Amino acid sequence: MAAPFQHLDHIAIVVRDTDEALKFYRDRLGLPLLFSQVMPDAPIRLTHLDAGNGVHIQLVQPLKPEHPLHAWLEKNGEGLQHLCFKVDNVAESMKTLPGLGLAMRDKAPRSGPNGRASAFLDPAATRGVPLEITSDPRA
């Protein structure tokens, strides 16, 4: 059986203020800024930095107090939120991963940055680690 994931795509870190966080990740650590995008269907700002080897650091800033990540920030503070793996096709993976004991949290793919598709797995199936899958827009 082929491995369900191609490679680590990004590491998501929840932040209160992207501009402040960039002072650390971009200015102090020297990670090149790739892009920053406010998601049209969710009140969040996603900012990607190049961490090398094709892996991104994704800064996730909830923009409204009612966003679930705002409550997560209040409880946990800034820090690691999830890992994301690249797959060939999110919709197809959502059908096959449950057969490998990897239940999905999302019922359908959601919009990701730059037109990519994404979906989250159920943390109960991932040893408590929040995992996301993503694929290119054409997949």
Is 3.10.180.10 the CATH classification of the domain at 7-135?
yes
Give every CB contact of residue 24 below 8 A, 6+ residues apart in sequence. Answer: none
Name all contacts of 121-126 with Cβ < 8 Å and 24+ positions apart: 121/97, 125/101, 126/102
Kindly tell me if the per-residue pLDDT of 31 is higher than 70. Answer: yes
Kindly tell me if the per-residue pLDDT of 64 is higher than 60. Answer: yes
Cα gap 46→77, rounded to integer Å: 17
pTM for the full model?
Answer: 0.93
For the chain, percent of residues with pLDDT exceeding 90 = 91
Quote the mean pLDDT of the chain. Answer: 94
CA angle 15/32/61 to nearest 5° reads: 15
